[in-house]
Chain A
Amino acid sequence: METIMNTESIGTEEYVARSAGTEAAMRVRELSVSYDNKETLHKITTEFPKHCITSIIGPSGCGKTTMLLSLNDLIREIQGVKVEGEILLGDKRTDAIPQEELRRRVGLVFQTPMPFPFSVYKNLTYAPRYYGNHNKKDLDRIVKEKLALVGLYDEIKTDLNKSALKFSGGQQQRICIARALTVEPDILLLDEPCSALDVRSISVIEETLLRLKSQYTIIIVTHNIAQARRLSDKVIFLKDGRLIEEGDAAGLFREPKEAETREFLRGIYG
Chain B
Amino acid sequence: MHIRGLFTKIWAYTGIIVVSVVIVFLFAFVFWKGGSTITWEFLSTPPAGLVLGSEGGILPAITGSLAFTLTAIVIGAVPAISTALYLVFFCKSRRMESMIHLVIQCIAGIPSIVLGLFSYSLFVRDLNFGRCILSSGIALGIMVLPFIEVRAEKTFRELNPAMIQSAYALGCNKTHTILTVVLPACRGELFSGIILGGCYAMGATAPMIFTGAVAFASNPTSLFEPAMALPLHLYLLVAQGHTSLDMAYGTAFVMMAVILISNVLVTMYARRRQREWKQ
Contacts and interface: CB of A to CB of B under 8 A. Distances in A.
B is a partner of A: yes
Interface of A: 72, 74, 77, 79-80, 100-108, 110-112, 114, 116-118, 126-127, 130-131, 163, 165-166, 176, 179-180, 182-183
Given A100-B171, A104-B170, A117-B185, A77 B165 contact: yes
A258 to B, nearest CB: 32
B272 to A, nearest CB: 13
Nearest to B277: A117
B171 A110 contact: no
Given A79-B92, A110-B162, A112-B162, A100 B172 contact: yes
Contacts of A108: 165-166, 169
A152 B170 CA distance: 20
23 contacts: A74-B165, A74-B168, A79-B94, A101-B171, A103-B168, A103-B169, A103-B170, A104-B171, A107-B169, A108-B165, A112-B160, A114-B163, A114-B166, A116-B166, A116-B167, A117-B184, A127-B172, A163-B278, A165-B277, A165-B278, A176-B166, A179-B166, A182-B170
Interface of B: 92, 94, 160, 162-163, 165-173, 176, 180-181, 184-185, 276-279
A101 B168 CA distance: 11
Contacts of B165: 74, 77, 108, 110
Nearest to A191: B162
B166 A165 contact: no
Nearest to B186: A117
* Most A CB within 10 A of own CB, among B163, B171, B176, B180: B171
A169 to B, nearest CB: 11
A105 B169 CA distance: 9
Nearest to B278: A165
A182 B170 CA distance: 9
Contacts of A101: 171
Contact of B163 (A74, A116, A180): A116
Contacts of B92: 79
Nearest to A76: B92
A124 to B, nearest CB: 11
Given A110-B166, A114-B160, A100 B173 contact: yes
Given A114-B160, A127-B170, 18 more contacts: A74-B165, A74-B168, A77-B165, A77-B168, A79-B92, A103-B169, A103-B170, A107-B169, A108-B169, A114-B163, A116-B185, A117-B185, A118-B277, A126-B180, A165-B279, A180-B169, A180-B170, A183-B170
A21 to B, nearest CB: 30
Question: When A and B form their complex, which 3 residue pairs have the shortest distance between CB atoms, in order from nearest?
Answer: A104-B171, A108-B169, A117-B277
Contacts of A180: 169-170
A91 to B, nearest CB: 21
Contacts of A182: 170
A107 B169 CA distance: 6
A118 B181 CA distance: 9
B163 A163 contact: no
Contact of A103 (B171, B180, B181, B277): B171
Nearest to B163: A114
A106 B171 CA distance: 9
Nearest to B97: A79
Given A130-B176, A165-B279, A114 B168 contact: no
A8 B176 CA distance: 41
Contact of A126 (B94, B170, B185, B277): B170
